[in-house]
Structure 1
Amino acid sequence: MTLDPTDRRILSVLQMQGRITNAELAERVNLSPSACHRRVQRLEEEGVIAGYVALLDARRMKRPTVVFVEITLSGQADEVLAAFEAAVQRIPDVMECHLMAGTADYLLKVLAQDTDDFARIHRQYLARLPGVAQMHSSFALKTVFRTTAIPV
């Protein structure tokens, strides 16, 4: 799908203000409300807009501790990777899981209440993941910035 400048303006606004009304969005991007609605529908149908969410404040949700966990598996066979990926998706505290190129096979982003809570997560979930040979955890001291907006 080719995105024109109007599509890009729509996407930029929606990434920052997902609850904006269609009338407000149309005004911001210089379209009629009906034309704006059609474009947003097309962007949704084409999968460019994958969904809408509420972004929660981790501190207010009592999950201020960010831990990045590098995991090296015991092997690279498809069944080892598949078993790990299926299991890690069931851990409620894991916010992201990335298959990596480099020294670690996977990089996880985990949110915890504090170091004691991370110890619980480690014991209850991470230490039981299938195929894990090594695990290294790094605690973020400060989040300098965070965004969910993709450049359009």
Structure 2
Amino acid sequence: MDAIDRKILVELQRDGRQTITELADKVDLTVSPAHRRLRELERTGAVRGYRAVIDPHALGLTFEALLFVVMGQEDRDTLAAFEEAVEAIPNVVLAQRLFGDPDYLLWVVAEDIAAYQQLYDDVLSGLPGVLRLTSTLVMKRVVEQRPLPA
């Protein structure tokens, strides 16, 4: 990946809907080389896809919590079952396995605290292998989904 590829990635993060002509102009290429480079970035997985960034409040999702998960069992099958179950929960918008304690961090969205409590009681607390769940409520987003540095 060279400097031009990095410029393409920066521009795509700013506006993934721009035309190839606009992109080419911003990275100082003609359309054909810009298009070839973009297709190669997509082919290699550097560009994994395109999507809209939606304001959760527009969907009525005004409550956010970070959920720290400590596993009681950490064998391969239990971890796989836990991760598969987490992937199936639409309210979990980010899940990361961590080194150390806790074992996982989940970013969970809900309509309000009552909806979160119901999700916690009915779904999250029953996830496979879980020893302990600890919630931290999000007060304010300071930095959110910023583009990656290129």
Give the TM interval when normalised to the shorter protein. over 0.9
| TM-score normalised according to structure 1 size | 0.95
The yes-or-no answer on 1:9 pairing with 2:12 is no
Separation in structure 1 between the aligned mates of residue 116 and residue 62 of structure 2, nearest angstrom:
11
- On the 8 A contact 2:68/2:134 being kept in 1, the answer is yes
Which of 102, 113, 135 matches 1:137? 135
Corresponding letter in the other structure for 2:33: A
- On the 8 A contact 2:74/2:129 being kept in 1, the answer is no
The yes-or-no answer on 1:77 pairing with 2:90 is no
- Correspondence list, 1:2-151, <5 A: 3-151=1-149
Separation in structure 1 between the aligned mates of residue 72 and residue 33 of structure 2, nearest angstrom:
54
Comparing 58-67 with 28-37, greater Cα deviation is found at 58-67
Separation in structure 2 between the aligned mates of residue 105 and residue 59 of structure 1, nearest angstrom:
29
Aligned-residue Cα RMSD (Å) equals: 0.9
- Identity of matched residues, %: 35
Separation in structure 1 between the aligned mates of residue 35 and residue 123 of structure 2, nearest angstrom:
44
Please give the per-residue CA displacement for 1:54-95, whole angstroms capped at 9, x wherever unaligned. Answer: 111111111121100001111211111111111111111000
Corresponding letter in the other structure for 2:47: I
SS of the counterpart of 1:67? strand
SS of the counterpart of 2:56? coil
**Tell me, which stretches of 5 or more residues in structure 2 are unaligned?**
none
Corresponding letter in the other structure for 1:84: F
Compute the displacement of 1:148 (Å).
4.1
Corresponding letter in the other structure for 2:136: S
Equivalenced residues, count: 150
Separation in structure 1 between the aligned mates of residue 96 and residue 68 of structure 2, nearest angstrom:
10
**Tell me, which stretches of 5 or more residues in structure 1 are unaligned?**
none
SS of the counterpart of 2:51? coil
Comparing 39-48 with 98-107, greater Cα deviation is found at 98-107
